[in-house]
Amino acid sequence: MEEIVELREEVDQLKEAVTSHATVDQAIGMMVALGRVTPDEGWAVLREVSQRTNIKLRNIAELILIWGRNGDLPSDVRAPLEEALDKYGPTQIPGAPPPP
């Protein structure tokens, strides 16, 4: 019986990890699309915002997805996000003319 409980807990943890990973990947995608950064830079942006705000990276990703849906982003997250995006981006689109 104890083994079944342990296995259920492990399955629950794995489900949470998969969901968290998908959320972070989606937020990286938003950084790539909106911030014009590479995926690696998008990851670095999320990591930097997480560290500067002392909010778990998964929660930063969730806030960014909410922002994408309704435009709301707490100001204590918005400022570090803008600074990080300025630091890493914008990435020049290959083959595009240089910005004016």
SS3 for 57-73, per residue?
HHHHHHHHHHHHHHCCC
Q: Residue 99 falls within a domain, yes or no?
A: no
The pTM is what?
0.76
Among 10-19, 52-61, 70-79, 82-91, the range of highest mean pLDDT: 52-61
Mean pLDDT of the chain: 86
Residue 78 φ then ψ, to 5°: -60, -50
- Return all residues near 97 (Cβ < 8 A) that are at least 6 apart: none
Residue 97 covered by a domain: no
Is residue 14, in this structure, part of any structural domain at all? yes
Cα–Cα distance measured from residue 21 to residue 93, given in angstroms and rounded to the nearest whole number: 27
Tens of pLDDT along 23-32? Answer: 999 999 999 9
For residues 6 and 12, what is the distance between their CA atoms, to the nearest angstrom? Answer: 10
Q: Is residue 41 in some structural domain? A: yes
Q: Which domain holds residue 54?
A: 2-87
Q: Which residue has the higher pLDDT, 58 or 16?
A: 58
74: confidence class by pLDDT, cuts 50, 70, 90: very high
Asked whether residue 40 carries a pLDDT value surpassing 90, the answer given is yes
Confirm whether 94 is domain-assigned. Answer: no
- Please give the tally of structural domains in the chain: 1
- 80 part of a folded domain: yes
- Residue that has been written with the tokens 């997250």 in this structure: 77
Report the alpha-carbon distance of residue 3 to residue 66 in Å, rounded.
38
